[in-house]
Each structure stands twice: as structure tokens, then as C-alpha cells.
Amino acid sequence: MEISLNNPSVVAVENNTTVDNKSIVSIRPSEAKPVVWQRSTFGNSYADRPDITIQEVIEDSHLDYNVVKQHLVRVNDQAYDAILHGNPLVGLQLSKDNIISSHCATVDERNDKTLGVVGSEYGVVQNTKAFEFINFIEKVSGVAPKIETAGRLGNGERIFITARLGEDSFLSPQDSIKNYVVFTNSHDGSGAVMAFFTPVRVICQNTLNMAIRECPNKVVFKHTKHVNTRLDWEIEENRKKALEVFSQSVKFSAKFIERMKGLQGEKVDAKYVEDFTAQLLLQPAQFKLYQQADGKLDSVEEIATRTKNSIMALRDSIENGIGQQFDRGTKLWLINGVTTMLHNESKWRNEESEFSALMEGSGLKKVQKAYDLLTKIA
């Protein structure tokens, strides 16, 4: 596929590319999909209720359940089958040796459902406690986060609340950035209580969730046995921490726009685009083979056809994706192409897996690697 750096506006619906003599057809939506948390079936929207309180959100979204830790006990196959089929436990003899003291189960008290298995010193943080953080950001800063969505993943193992924070930023008069903060809590040992700052590019609804050197984009409270003390906002030291979080969000937003404008000013040629997309999606050893083949992707047999297809699809997203009529031929064009592919064109198993990937998983890592490559950190 030929890369065109100067085409002023291309919005392709269907594109045919050939790799290893096989035709690839990529279909993209005619307009940007809303951010995953705004269209999710596992969350509620509160964008039209600007005065809603955090407590009202928690109750309305059914996040006000209580989580407790319960002990784990080892049983033999006979006892397991009896419990499984609702039969009486005949002749079962247990001792303290059957207790698994190193781990516990986390359980939703409403329905007795197990949410996860965690270490014995895991500190459970109730959802109401975790999201008091939002109220204290407003108290110490005077700026109220505008809650937009709230929801839970699975049976309530992980929950989230998203909020707009501060004013919009602009890369150009036509290209605006909305600043969000995403609050999360988990009950299965998969994550901490977190607040992370996520700019969203309005034109394509892409989240630009990446860490910028010397300006972290998240605050983490791990589920240690003392975590609830760290989240007690009546303690002066913790109040100062809340103010630091808000100050950090303001600093991150300013630094983010500064870095994006820097990428906006750096021009690239077609060869740079091809090498960037290859390096982003190939393992280091594969990229060396690609370089040795003078960038001729077809001729490297050690690279799987599926990977070659992914590289070509990414190049197509950069060339023709939603919002890609702006900043053509710059490094900003490249990173926007990566995010528009992830948000608007990638197929995810479901919305929960998409949310997890873009916020904390493989999608986030891809965007971070793209940013690091473009700023020569990696």
C-alpha cells in the first residue's frame, strides 16, 4: 500500500490491500464510535445529570454492595462432589490443616457470589469508600469532576466511574481534547484503587491514555492491609494527597498538549511511516529481519501472514482512518492512526474486554509503545 502524506481528506469505507498474494479488506465505520465507557452495556450514563452526587451514582448503578473476605478450606473429591450436588457431607473430617491460611475469597454479601481469590492480607476497599476520593478532589481544589458514566465488569469484580475534569484543550481550532479522569476499584486482586487521567480526542473519540515521562498519569492505592487508612480523607496528610492528585491532573493535561503539539510539528516521510508501523507490531528479532530485507515485508518468511496483515491494516488506518485528515505527514498523525485503529476498527471479544485492553491492557501498551517510539524513549 502506498502511503500518501498530503491527501487532504480521505475517509475510506473499504480498502483492499495485498500481502503474500492475499487480499485484505478492512471495513471501518463511517463515523467515530463513542468512547467505550459511553456506549457500554455494563455501565450507566449520567452526562445529562450534571448535579448528581457520587453517592447517588453508586446507588443508581448498584455499586453499593458490601464485599467481605471469607476463609478457604481444602476438601477431598468426595466432599467436593457432595457440595456440588447439594448432598449431605457424610463422614467428613476436617482439621486446621485443611485451612488455606495464605489466601481468602472475596465475596459479595448480597448474593454470596465469589468475586476472586486474594492474599490473606489483602485490604478490601468498599466501593463507597474508594469513590469518596472524587468528593475530596472537589473539596480541596474547588473544581467538581462532572461524572459521566459508572459501571461494573463481570459480577462486580471491577468497577469504574468516569468524569470530565477541567476545560477542553485544543491541538487546533478543529481538533479538541476532552480531559477525563477514570476511577477504578477491584475486588478480585486484579488491580488497585486507581485514578488515571485520560485525554479523549473528540473528532475520533480516541482515548490517548499514555504515561508521559516526568509527569505520571495515574495515582494508585494498592490493596494492602493499611489501604483504608490511606483513603481516610479526614487525615490531613491524605487531604494533601488529594490536592496533589488534582494538581497532577492539571500538570498532566498541560504537558500532554505540549507533547502532542511537539509531535504535530515533526514531519515524517513514507519510509518513516513504514518503519514505524513495522517496529510497533514486530518483535525486535523480526524487525531486524525486516530491516535486513530493506523494508520489504513480503520477503520476510519468518513474519507470519497475520502479523503482516496487521501492519498493513495499521498503515491503512493511518492513511484513511477517522480523523486522519488532520496533521497528515506528522508524528501526531501516526499516533492518532494507532488509536483510531484500536478504538474504531479493532474487533474485541466484547465491550468489557475492550475497556480492559484500552484502559490497562494490550491496547494501552500499544499506544504507550507508539508514543515511546515517536519520542525515542524506547
User: Which H or E run contains 284?
Assistant: helix 284-292
Q: How many angstroms separate the CA atoms of 286 and 294, rounded?
A: 13
Q: What is the pLDDT of residue 10?
A: 37
Q: Is 49 exposed, middle or buried (0-12, 13-18, 19+ CB in 10 A)?
A: middle
Q: How many angstroms separate the CA atoms of 351 and 317, rounded?
A: 21
Please provide residue 320's backbone torsions phi and psi, each rounded to the nearest 5 degrees: -125, 0
Q: What is the pLDDT of residue 39?
A: 57
Q: What is the pLDDT of residue 280?
A: 94
Q: Where are the domains of the chain?
A: 14-34+263-374, 36-63+125-255, 67-119
What's the whole-model pTM score? 0.74
- Of 128, 127, 168, 131, which Cα lies nearest the Cα of 147? 131
**Bridge partners for 253 per DSSP:** none
Q: What is the mean pLDDT of each run of 10 residues along the chain (378 residues)?
A: 49 38 43 58 82 91 95 90 87 87 96 95 94 79 82 89 80 77 90 83 60 66 92 81 74 82 92 95 94 92 92 92 86 90 72 70 82 78
Q: How many angstroms separate the CA atoms of 196 and 209, rounded?
A: 8
